[in-house]
């Protein structure tokens, strides 16, 4: 169980934004989660350096996964690690879609289901309302 102080530290470090899809917490109707970047079932620990602030959709889709196969390269690739990787290096925005620029980005977008139609539509509406990109780029 994650302590309240660790939860607050992870939230503040992330700026209250999902470290995967960049959804601002205050625009979400569901509580955010502290995600184990490397799941404990894969020898990840309970140190805050292994925690990421995650919206419920990214967290549930990620589960204990640590990687997957990239369709372009047909190789097994690890998922994006917010503690070790730069978001801008691995992802870019195309309208309301999150696009993977690298193998890590592509695999993460796929496993975390970042571009499911409902998620794209939510971001599109928030962009039109000036609520999403005004805060994130």
Tokens 């609520």, located at residue: 131
Q: What is the pLDDT of residue 136?
A: 44
Would the pLDDT of 135 be above 70? no
Q: What is the rounded CA–CA span in Å between residue 68 and residue 111?
A: 7
pTM as predicted:
0.93
pLDDT 10s digits, 39-54: 999 998 999 999 999 9
pLDDT 10s digits, 9-34: 999 999 999 999 999 999 988 999 99
Those residues whose C-beta lies under 8 Å from the C-beta of residue 107, and which sit 6 or more positions away, are: 67, 68, 69, 70, 77, 78, 79, 100
Would the pLDDT of 101 be above 50? yes
Q: What is the pLDDT of residue 65?
A: 96
Q: What is the pLDDT of residue 137?
A: 46
């Amino acid at each position: 169980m994650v302590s309240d102080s660790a939860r607050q530290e992870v939230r503040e470090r992330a700026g209250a934004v999902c470290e995967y899809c960049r959804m601002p917490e205050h625009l979400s109707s569901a509580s955010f989660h502290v995600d184990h970047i490397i799941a404990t079932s894969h020898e990840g620990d309970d140190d805050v350096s292994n925690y990421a602030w995650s919206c419920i959709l990214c967290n549930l889709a990620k589960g204990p996964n640590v990687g997957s196969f990239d369709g372009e390269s047909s190789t097994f690739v690890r998922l994006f690690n917010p503690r070790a990787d730069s978001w801008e290096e691995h992802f870019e925005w195309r309208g309301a879609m999150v696009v993977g620029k690298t193998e890590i980005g592509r695999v993460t977008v796929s496993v975390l289901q970042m571009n499911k139609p409902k998620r794209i539509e939510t971001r599109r509406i928030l962009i039109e309302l000036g609520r999403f990109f005004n805060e994130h780029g």
